């Protein structure tokens, strides 16, 4: 799912070639034109820039000829570099853009030079990232290879060969090339993205684009150095000193020829817009702001440090309502230590539903957050959510949401930031440690990405790589987290390893974290009969509560359970069902069944769970632990491929001797009916759940204010 869909989509035709463009942030000036690059990938390679930049400026992107939704003319002559510049001018005309800041990556930097030289009145600044210009500079990695020749072997850069693409192994070349583009450790996601995009273009078309760029097939390249000297606008060159595609000397030459600035990314490769998006986003915006003819007037207040109120910014994960309930409980306890503490929440639906009910203040910038819940719902199948891959594919949403956070803490003073599984904040602060200007507390109820069995060695390698990156970040930047809090006890941590040659998860977590015990967000129920009477349940009736959390992922499970209700009621005569659909599922979309009450969001759901005789739930930790704390029997059905529910949560529930796990694939009417009947007759012998988790967590946080 995209973090920000375009405000405008269209096409423009130039010399018989149709070009597809998008505009985002239509109400903001000035305009930024994000140029296409080599046709091996389309304009989605700017996906980590568009959401942030379009919140502040107007952003135009287009698919270059030969890629994406644009036409693919035949023959190298159609892909001469000046065509891309003229195409860009046509897109500017079509989008009614008079002047723009141009940003180009690799070949896109060359196209930007052509545009700035040919249309100097339309380009106010040029940002060239990893420029791939045709200067007379020796490239040792490429000099011995022949792009248009017959080669006996195709190892290394010998894969960069026309015949190998068309008649050999194009996929092998693509994987090699993007491995070279992203030499930085832990770059599996941008490599995976680019490999996928590269398979959307025919190798013959890509060969035409390359022939034009190299001056083959009768195409005469226009010398680039005279064009560089014609550029009159400010130029900023960004180049990694570990760029395997175009060596750093190319960027130095471009800066010299244009009189521009050079920003070197130490240890960076050829794609910093993907590998270091926060750095690139901030740089682009800084350049754009400096191009304004007349900056808008502002009014600002600076408060002397001792006059500032105590303030905390709380980030609560939107994936599951349980985070919100426990975080509200912790916030209340935190105020007992600091009654004058102001707490703002950077949060999104459905978390905001809980916060508004608790009279908490949701920060206005929350409206800019891209929906994590919607993404998760978009990723799920029938009771199937590959949680690890879903988080990986959420990268543009996470970058967008970190940039919202970045703008908030840059503009306002906060003494403390609390991130309850705010993965984007923890990750990008470790990637950009210079941005930390507050005490930072990290909270989680699980540690370690784990592969599912059917993922095979590839998924095992990916999860291990993600874990290794986290371990390395924590070893290098221990100062980034002022407190790491595990919501649970040491024995709740799984005994697995992070991966081959990596530490034990349990041992590492004991070294890294303080343990708050589980946070239920409520006091245990002592008089269950009184509670049942208050909720309207008769003393003699048996009640089954069914709930699937705060997202729409649980819809298939609700349908399956409702289909089984007649069979269950035949086995358990008179069983009454309360089915809570949550805030993102319309109860009217579900079938009606005798003995079933359908309700949407229930703010006091934990009371109904405490009052019930049995429950059927998804495998989320919060609901399962609420039932465990109140010693209620329950059946839980983990989402398929959800590593947290199937490994981390199940480990904790097994330790507490709580609940009965019923795999979704075994969920026929009779098995479900039997499981519910068995749980109704069960003698509960759960381990006790601590009742002071919120207070313990608050004490740990209070020391940071």
Give the model confidence (pLDDT) of 116-145 as tens digits.
999 999 999 999 999 998 888 877 666 556
Predicted confidence band of residue 289 (pLDDT cuts 50, 70, 90): very high
Does residue 98 register a pLDDT over 80? yes
Q: Measured between alpha carbons, how far is 616 from 496 in angstroms, rounded to an integer?
A: 28
Q: Measured between alpha carbons, how far is 490 from 518 in angstroms, rounded to an integer?
A: 11
Cis peptide before 30 (omega within 30 of 0): yes
Please give the average per-residue pLDDT across 201-219, as a whole number.
94
Per CATH, which fold does 305-520+696-702 belong to?
Rossmann fold (3.40.50)
Q: Measured between alpha carbons, how far is 374 from 551 in angstroms, rounded to an integer?
A: 8
Q: Measured between alpha carbons, how far is 138 from 246 in angstroms, rounded to an integer?
A: 10
Q: Measured between alpha carbons, how far is 419 from 440 in angstroms, rounded to an integer?
A: 8
Predicted confidence band of residue 699 (pLDDT cuts 50, 70, 90): very high
Does residue 522 register a pLDDT over 90? no
How many residues in the chain?
Answer: 705
**Do residues 434 and 279 make contact, with C-beta atoms less than 8 angstroms apart?**
no
The SS3 assignment for 418 reads strand
Predicted confidence band of residue 318 (pLDDT cuts 50, 70, 90): confident
Give the residue among 180, 178, 209 at the shortest CA–CA distance from 195. Answer: 178
Give the residue among 46, 88, 61 at the shortest CA–CA distance from 7. Answer: 61
pLDDT on residue 299? 87
**Do residues 544 and 575 make contact, with C-beta atoms less than 8 angstroms apart?**
yes
Does residue 319 register a pLDDT over 80? no
pLDDT on residue 139? 74
Q: Measured between alpha carbons, how far is 690 from 677 in angstroms, rounded to an integer?
A: 29
Domain parsing of the chain, residue ranges: 8-138+221-290, 305-520+696-702, 528-680
Does residue 523 register a pLDDT over 90? no
Tokens of 661: 């796990």
**Do residues 164 and 141 make contact, with C-beta atoms less than 8 angstroms apart?**
no
Contacts of 538 (CB under 8 A, 6+ apart): none
Q: Do domains 305-520+696-702 and 528-680 have the same CATH topology?
A: yes
Please give the average per-residue pLDDT across 78-106, as a whole number.
97
Give the residue among 596, 522, 545 at the shortest CA–CA distance from 566. Answer: 596
Does residue 527 register a pLDDT over 60? yes
Give the model confidence (pLDDT) of 491-508 as tens digits.
999 999 999 999 999 999
The SS3 assignment for 613 reads coil
Which helix (H) or strand (E) segment is 235 a member of? strand 235-240
User: Which runs of consecutive H residues, i.e. helices, occur in 513-633?
Assistant: 528-535, 555-571, 605-611, 621-629
Give the model confidence (pLDDT) of 49-63 as tens digits.
999 999 999 999 999
Helix axes 322-337, 621-629, angle to 10 degrees: 70
Does residue 200 register a pLDDT over 70? yes
Per CATH, which fold does 528-680 belong to?
Rossmann fold (3.40.50)
Which helix (H) or strand (E) segment is 598 a member of? strand 596-599
pLDDT on residue 54? 97
Q: How far apart are the first and last CA of the chain?
A: 37
Q: Measured between alpha carbons, how far is 272 from 243 in angstroms, rounded to an integer?
A: 10
Per CATH, which fold does 8-138+221-290 belong to?
Rossmann fold (3.40.50)
Please give the average per-residue pLDDT across 588-595, as a whole number.
91
Tokens of 205: 């078309």
């Amino acid at each position: 799912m995209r973090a920000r869909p375009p405000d405008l989509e269209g096409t423009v035709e130039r010399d018989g070639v149709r070009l597809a463009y998008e505009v985002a942030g239509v109400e903001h000036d000035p305009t930024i034109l994000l140029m296409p690059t080599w046709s091996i990938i389309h304009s989605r390679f700017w996906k980590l820039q568009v959401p942030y930049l379009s919140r502040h400026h107007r952003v135009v992107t287009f698919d270059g000829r030969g890629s994406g939704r644009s036409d693919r003319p035949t023959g190298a002559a159609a892909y001469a570099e000046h065509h891309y510049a003229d195409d860009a001018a046509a897109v500017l005309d079509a989008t009614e853009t008079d002047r723009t800041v141009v940003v180009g990556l690799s070949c896109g930097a060359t196209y930007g030079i052509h545009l700035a030289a040919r249309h100097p009145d339309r380009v106010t600044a040029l940002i060239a990232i990893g420029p791939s210009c045709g200067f007379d500079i020796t490239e040792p990695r490429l000099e011995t290879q022949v792009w248009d020749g017959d080669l006996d072997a195709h190892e290394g850069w010998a894969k960069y060969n026309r015949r190998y693409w068309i008649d050999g192994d194009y996929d092998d070349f693509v994987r090699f090339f993007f491995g070279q583009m992203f030499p930085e450790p832990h770059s599996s996601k941008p490599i995976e993205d680019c490999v996928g995009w590269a398979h959307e273009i025919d190798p013959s078309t890509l060969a035409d684009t390359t022939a034009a760029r190299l001056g083959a097939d009768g195409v005469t390249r226009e010398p680039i150095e005279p064009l560089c000297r014609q550029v009159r606008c400010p130029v900023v060159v960004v180049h990694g000193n570990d760029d395997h595609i175009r060596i750093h000397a190319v960027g130095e030459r471009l800066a010299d020829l244009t009189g521009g600035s050079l920003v070197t990314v130490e240890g960076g490769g050829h794609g910093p817009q993907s590998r270091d998006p926060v750095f690139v986003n901030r740089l682009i915006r800084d350049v754009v702001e400096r191009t304004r003819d007349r900056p808008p007037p502002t009014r600002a207040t600076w408060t002397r440090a001792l006059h500032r109120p105590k303030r905390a910014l709380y980030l609560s994960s939107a994936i599951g309502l349980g985070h919100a309930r426990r975080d509200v409980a912790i916030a209340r306890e935190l105020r007992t230590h600091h009654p004058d503490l102001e707490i703002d929440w950077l949060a999104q639906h459905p978390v905001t539903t809980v916060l508004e009910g608790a009279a908490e203040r949701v920060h206005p910038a929350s409206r800019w957050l891209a929906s994590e819940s919607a993404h998760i719902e978009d990723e799920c199948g029938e009771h199937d959510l590959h949680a690890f891959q879903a988080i990986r594919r959420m990268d543009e949403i996470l970058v967008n949401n970190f940039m919202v956070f970045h703008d908030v803490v840059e503009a306002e003073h906060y003494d403390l930031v609390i991130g309850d599984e705010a993965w984007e904040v923890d990750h990008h602060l470790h990637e950009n440690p210079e941005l930390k200007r507050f005490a930072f507390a990290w909270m989680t109820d699980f540690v370690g990405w784990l592969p599912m069995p059917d993922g095979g060695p590839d998924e095992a390698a990916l999860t291990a790589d993600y874990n290794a990156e986290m371990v390395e970040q924590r070893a290098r930047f221990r100062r980034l987290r002022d407190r790491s809090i595990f919501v649970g006890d040491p024995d709740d941590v799984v005994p697995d390893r992070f991966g081959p040659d990596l530490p034990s998860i349990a041992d590492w977590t004991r070294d890294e974290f303080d343990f708050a015990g589980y946070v239920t967000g409520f006091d245990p129920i002592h008089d269950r009969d009184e509670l049942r009477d208050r909720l309207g349940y008769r003393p003699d009736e048996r009640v089954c509560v069914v709930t699937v959390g705060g997202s729409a992922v649980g819809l298939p499970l609700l349908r399956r359970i409702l289909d089984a209700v007649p069979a269950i009621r035949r086995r358990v005569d008179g069983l009454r069902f309360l089915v809570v659909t949550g805030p993102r599922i319309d109860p009217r979309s579900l079938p009606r069944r005798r003995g079933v009450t359908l309700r949407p969001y229930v703010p006091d759901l934990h009371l109904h769970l405490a009052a019930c005789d049995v429950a059927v739930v998804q495998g989320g930790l919060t609901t399962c632990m609420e039932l465990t704390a109140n010693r209620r029997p329950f059946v839980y059905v983990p989402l398929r491929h959800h590593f947290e529910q199937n490994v981390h949560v199940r480990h904790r529930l097994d330790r507490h001797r709580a609940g009965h796990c019923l795999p979704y694939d075994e969920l026929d009417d009779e098995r479900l009916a039997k499981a519910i009947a068995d749980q109704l007759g069960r003698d509960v012998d759960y381990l006790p759940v601590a009742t002071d988790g919120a207070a313990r967590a608050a004490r740990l946080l209070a020391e940071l204010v």
